[in-house]
Amino acid sequence: MDKIAYFVQKSNTNATAVAIFGAIGAVVVAAKALSFLKVLVDVFLRSGINVKKYDAGNGGWAVITGASDGIGKEFAFQLASKKLNIVLVSRTESKLKVLAEELEQKYNIETKVHAMDFAKGDDKDYQALQALVAPINVTVLVNNVGTNHEIPTPFEQETDKIVKDIVEININAAMKVTKIIVPHMVARKKGLIINLGSFAGLVPTPYLSVYSGSKAFLSSWSQAIGAELAPKGITVQNVNTYFVVSAMSKIRRATMLIPMPKPYVRSVLGQIGISGGASTPYTSTPFYSHAIANWLIDNTFGRAFWVKQNYNIQVDIRKRALRKREREAAAAAKSQ
Ligand SMILES: NC(=O)c1ccc[n+]([C@@H]2O[C@H](COP(=O)([O-])OP(=O)(O)OC[C@H]3O[C@@H](n4cnc5c(N)ncnc54)[C@H](OP(=O)(O)O)[C@@H]3O)[C@@H](O)[C@H]2O)c1
């Protein structure tokens, strides 16, 4: 009799344990499903803060770094189309002037251009930018300028110049330009700062270690200043970007995962203040396929798995890039 009671009690205990673990499992699965649903709602249904709020058509200006090409150029077109005046900053003055003229004619706005090489980190260039923006009402800043390793390279083999350029352009330029612009925004209690982040900042990327670290800096710094500036009426948004067709990405054809700059920037400007696929504050992953990828990275397999995936991808890209260099060197030697 005692034995039967023992087995009845044991099977009751097992049933209770199964029920408890089942309930916990159901809660975890439901929480994951809900967070995924939120991503879909964010990217397909919600609209963010209207950029027109930033004095568009009413004397407001946007400053865009790295404005002459790729994603930065597209920001210039889309912000100008919303009637913001534009300050275009990048290295090549001739490209900036042509773009400025096109924007003025197409959208009937004002423009200013400032040519500087951010890699030089020259104080005089920053002072000139400060003087340029002092008399105008800058309400939007797009910290877009960025540079990358030429090819995936082990850290100890990377040139000092590339390491220095990445730090100067991707980190220092964002901080220095923001320091120039933010006091004006604080004084007017209005502003939007968009920082061009990367999935390389979300998941450490072996062989692109300095670029990856620079984007991780941008992510952390954006979250910190985002919290500082929110009570002062300024929205900071680090934008997690996977690949976009551009000179930097060296990708020429768009796919579902790799948009052209136009739809990409449309998604960024359509979701100001909305996180999309991002799970960190003051951050957005607005493009739908990037948002789903961001959710998968945050919710499946664990970070070590994704770092290893990045490692395998970069090893493969490096092999192909080295083979291409060899072919080009052989062709050049032949033509001499
Ligand atoms: N494309 C992607 O797949 C991707 C993915 C993740 C993140 N992002 C980020 O998005 C941002 C824009 O990238 P993108 O792909 O649009 O690049 P891009 O097409 O190569 O354009 C870069 C822009 O920056 C300017 N620039 C480059 N070096 C400069 C320097 N030293 N000083 C001043 N201006 C400089 C270039 O103009 P000039 O050459 O005329 O100076 C150009 O206007 C970067 O921060 C990048 O890290 C891009």
pLDDT digits (tens, 9 = 90+) for 178-235: 999 999 999 999 999 999 999 999 999 999 999 999 999 999 999 999 999 999 999 9
Atom of ligand 1 nearest to the CA of 244: 3
Counting ligand 1 atoms within 8 A of each CB, the residue from 75, 90, 176 with the most, and so the one to mutate, is 90
Atom of ligand 1 nearest to the CA of 68: 43
Task: Return d(Cα 63, Cα 129) in angstroms, integer.
Answer: 10
Nearest Cα residue to atom 26 of ligand 1:
66
Each residue of 24-60: pLDDT tens digit? 999 999 999 999 999 999 999 999 999 999 999 999 9
The reply to whether ligand 1 has any atom less than 6 angstroms from the CB of 92 is yes
Give the pLDDT of residue 41: 97
Distance between alpha carbon 237 and the CA centroid of its chain, in Å?
Answer: 9
The reply to whether ligand 1 has any atom less than 6 angstroms from the CB of 113 is no
Atom of ligand 1 nearest to the CA of 69: 43
Q: Is 211 a catalytic residue?
A: yes
Task: Return d(Cα 38, Cα 57) in angstroms, integer.
Answer: 33
Each residue of 68-92: pLDDT tens digit? 999 999 999 999 999 999 999 999 9
The reply to whether ligand 1 has any atom less than 6 angstroms from the CB of 286 is no
The reply to whether ligand 1 has any atom less than 6 angstroms from the CB of 172 is no
Q: Is residue 2's pLDDT more than 80?
A: no
Residue closest to 197 by CA, chosen among 167, 240, 166, 226: 240
Task: Return d(Cα 160, Cα 164) in angstroms, integer.
Answer: 6
Residue closest to 197 by CA, chosen among 213, 179, 185: 213
Instruction: Name the fold adopted by 46-315.
Output: Rossmann fold (3.40.50)
* Band (336; pLDDT cuts 50, 70, 90): confident
Beta 137-143 vs 60-65: how paired, if at all?
Answer: parallel
SS3 of 203-269? CCCCCCHHHHHHHHHHHHHHHHHHHHHHHHCEEEEEECCCCCCECCCCECCCCCCCCCHHHHHHHHH
Task: Return d(Cα 241, Cα 209) in angstroms, integer.
Answer: 17
The interaxial angle of helices 70-81 and 261-270, nearest 10 deg, is 50
User: Does 81 belong to an annotated binding site?
Assistant: no
Counting ligand 1 atoms within 8 A of each CB, the residue from 63, 64, 65, 69 with the most, and so the one to mutate, is 69
> Which is catalytic among the residues 54, 107, 126, 211?
211
315, 145 contact by CB (below 8 A)? no
Residue 325 token pair: 């260099």
